[in-house]
Amino acid sequence: MTLTHNLEIDGKRLLVADNILQHDYLDGLVRRFYNAPFVKNEVGRPDTAAFPHWAHELDIKELDAQPIWKHTVNFVNNYLGANSFKPYRSYVNYGSFTDPMFSHVDATNHELTCLWYIVPKWHIDWAGETLFFNQQNEIGFACTPKPGRLVVFDSRIMHSGRPPSIVSQFSRFTLAFKMEKVTQ
């Protein structure tokens, strides 16, 4: 595992790591999600409800059997404190070049979003970045969707996935784990 970025946007933490998943495992996830039943009902903000995007829900009760979840927990425990967060939602986003994607926050209290890029390969001209904004609505960080990359961030950071470009060879799949702070 390589921690490639460790930064804050308006005092909220954002971490990026690469080289966690084995290539064969990532390819299996790509195949699994390409064949998954997606539903067009995910909305980033109430004012964008007329433009939902595609999502596929995953059963939280089945996470412990998933190697990618174990990698996520290990990363969070190592960098943000052992057993300080627990999952409450897991799903896969799908985006193609025609899909609108809007800026949003995932939570208004201190939670975590763990976002994996589930793509077999990526090229800089294919777009699909996740943009993270500061309080002045300026881009504080742009994250390239490298295959198997993990982004862990404070859910209060405004962000937006960008659709892949029309020349992209692949759709944009991200696997999201939403985590809440464990209360003592």
Cβ pair 113, 177 in contact under 8 A: yes
* 61 Cβ neighbours under 8 A, 6+ residues apart: none
Position 173 scores a pLDDT of 95
Domains of the chain: 2-181 (2.60.120.620)
CA–chain centroid gap for 124, Å, is: 18
Per-residue pLDDT band at 184 (split at 50, 70, 90): low
pTM above 0.85, yes or no: yes
- pLDDT score of 3 more than 80: yes
- pLDDT score of 82 more than 80: no
